[in-house]
Amino acid sequence: MHRQTIRHGLKILALTLALLAPRALAAEPGALPLAAGAATAQMASPQAISEYRRKFREYQQARAAFEAEAGAYWSSIAEKRRGRNAKRREHLAITLDDYVLTQPPVYTGPKRPVSPSPEAEEPREPRERKYIPVAADLLKAAADYFQWTPERPANELEFKRAYARFASSAGLTREQAVRVYAFETGGNGSHASQSGFHGSHAISTAIGYNQLLTTNTVELLAEQGESFVKLLTERAATLSGPARLTMERKIAVLKKMVALARSVPDDWSQHEKIGDTPQGWALHAMVLDIDVGPMLQTHKLLTSVIFARIKGYTRPLSAAELEMMNLTGDGTGLDMVTMPPAMRDVVPTSNFFQRGGYERNPVAIRHNTVAKLLAVTDQRMDSNSNLPGARELAAAF
């Protein structure tokens, strides 16, 4: 099993961008009409343009100094991480010296100035936004590439019962499943809940009770798909008539999907490439299926439990600890889970992130030590577990 820590940036981004969604901009009272504003900008004086360029140079200098400081900090984070990994391979004890104990630098210099004239504006690098597929895209892709449609539950309780049965039989506890669900979905999510979904747009491909990304689905099908096929084949043997034909058709499609997922090396980056294609979207449609969806959702958590056990961590994982592994990747999450309580109070959360994922994660920034991050995770689980969706899932176990 090759689970890469890079997934944490994707997953954390999926969970936190909703907090950062920009509000619609409203014109200020008394603002000039667009044409009048443009005309005024065209008439900017040489003195105003000169002042803008002076401020822009100051801004560039301040940003360059900050980037040098931040670059050195995040390089030290990566270096310490490599050192910890090496010590673990040698079965050596991890100490405070193996972590960066200062918080990341924060930019406090001048803001980028606003140009008084279009001609004076310094060019910006264009940002290309990658399209994020939503459930309708997944269903279309499944129909286009596999001539198949997921079998949806009659209602949400049916899916919860199917998930509870499979999760229990696989070894997850009710507390783990319900509290992670409460944290991931806010306590009322459905099997088709997508991160940041509004109308026809979403901020991530993360879907369902444990918020699987397209890459998660590809990876799980590659690694667990054959066992899924076996389980469905056993189930088909107990059916007859149209129900059996439907299950056999589903099994045939699942086999093709597993073959696609296994057509590349078992590596997160390779699975990500498939997940970014329409064929990968078709695979991701399986999270919506009443039979395969619960298997995928369960194994998203179960692989972390198994990983911890393999690494010698025999104590049952609390829901908050399991969530850390779910969010940041197994290796990084286990780093936090196995940390003694005294160290958790002083080790910054930045030690467990890439720079991009950290800077887009207000929760990790605000709760900036391991102890604080685990505490706020537990608090949200406590609160959200009392909501109707979480209570309904708990009753399904």
Write out pLDDT tens, residues 152-168.
999 999 999 999 999 99
What mean pLDDT comes out for the span 290-312?
Answer: 94
* % of the chain residues with pLDDT over 90: 71
Which tokens sit at 53? 């360029």
pLDDT at 32: 35
Strand, helix or coil for residue 198: strand
More confident call, 258 vs 125: 258
Average pLDDT of the chain to the nearest whole number: 88
Q: What pTM did the predictor assign?
A: 0.79
pLDDT at 126: 66
Residues making up the chain, counted from first to last: 397
Q: What whole-number distance in Å separates Cα of residue 203 and Cα of residue 13?
A: 9
Strand, helix or coil for residue 212: strand
pLDDT tens, position by position, 358-391: 998 888 899 999 999 999 999 999 999 999 999 9
The single-letter code of the amino acid at 137 is: D
pLDDT tens, position by position, 99-147: 999 999 999 999 999 988 776 666 676 667 789 999 999 999 999 999 9
Q: Is pLDDT above 70 for 27?
A: no
pLDDT at 84: 93
Q: Which residues pair with 392 in a beta bridge?
A: none
pLDDT at 329: 82
**CA-to-CA dists, residue 285 to 203, 206, 357, angstroms:** 17, 12, 26
Q: Is pLDDT above 50 for 37?
A: no
Helix ranges restricted to H, the chain: 7-20, 34-42, 46-89, 135-146, 156-170, 174-185, 214-236, 241-261, 268-275, 278-284, 292-310, 319-328, 330-337, 341-344, 355-359, 362-366, 370-384, 388-396
The single-letter code of the amino acid at 198 is: H
All structural domains of the chain with their residue ranges = 34-120, 131-396
| CATH architecture of the region 131-396 | Orthogonal Bundle (1.10)
Backbone CA torsion sign across 160, 161, 166, 169: positive
Q: Point out the least confidently predicted range of 37-41, 77-81, 254-258.
A: 37-41
Residue 286: pLDDT band with limits 50, 70, 90: very high
pLDDT at 117: 79
More confident call, 15 vs 314: 314
Q: Which residues pair with 201 in a beta bridge?
A: 198
Q: What whole-number distance in Å separates Cα of residue 207 and Cα of residue 190?
A: 9
For the chain, give the longest Cα–Cα distance.
84
The single-letter code of the amino acid at 123 is: P
What mean pLDDT comes out for the span 217-237?
Answer: 97
Q: Is pLDDT above 70 for 354?
A: yes
pLDDT at 42: 55
Helix axes 135-146, 241-261, angle to 10 degrees: 100
Q: Which residues pair with 369 in a beta bridge?
A: 348
Backbone CA torsion sign across 327, 330, 331, 335: positive
